[in-house]
A = this chain, B = another copy of it.
Amino acid sequence: MENRNQTTLPLSPSEMTIQPIGIIHTPFYGKEEAPVQGAFQPEAVGMVEVFPEFSAALKDIEAFTHLYLIYRFDRAGEIELVRAPFLDDEPHGIFATRHPCRPNGLGLSVVRLLSREVNVLRVAGIDVLDATPLIDIKPYIPRFDSYPDAGEGWLTDKESRSKPSGRE
């Protein structure tokens, strides 16, 4: 995360501030190593550390098998509204992709919950860089969230591949 000193910034009427509730620890230290999507590397294990002051908010989370993590892409490059994503060479609108360089810089992943130890969740299928700031955790509930027949848009027939080099 940007390590700036305490400062004051003007807030426009519609701006809102958010604050990390924890940190996601993963084995991915550089952008080249992180998988394009967690679903492509379901065995990748990470530790979701929730700050102790939010530990109580995890009560009963261990009864879920899958969770949503919302986090901040804190090392993303410049925002471009239309760009070629990792899985395609054609440019698409950023809201039609999951690319990190997006307005507000929030990421979303579904992970498998393996275990919980107090304020630390062990999860699988994680695809973020180590030390990514965690913004929210929500339970994944198949009745609300599972749409196996949804279309895949431009991702139809796109297979996992390495991130094209030299491209953010």
Contacts and interface: CB of A to CB of B under 8 A. Distances in A.
A54 B30 CA distance: 29
Contact of A94 (B15, B57, B106): B57
Contact of A14 (B1, B13, B144): B1
A81 B13 CA distance: 27
Given A17-B11, A143-B39, A144-B39, A153 B64 contact: yes
A110 to B, nearest CB: 6
Interface string A73-105: 000000001100000000111111110001111
Interface string A130-157: 0001011111111111111111111100
Interface of A: 1-21, 37-39, 50, 54, 56-61, 63-66, 68, 70, 72, 81-82, 91-98, 102-106, 108, 110, 133, 135-155
A133 B14 contact: yes
This chain: how many copies in the complex?
A: 2
B141 A150 contact: yes
A17 B16 CA distance: 5
Contacts of A12: 6, 19
Contacts of A50: 95
Contacts of A81: 54, 56-57
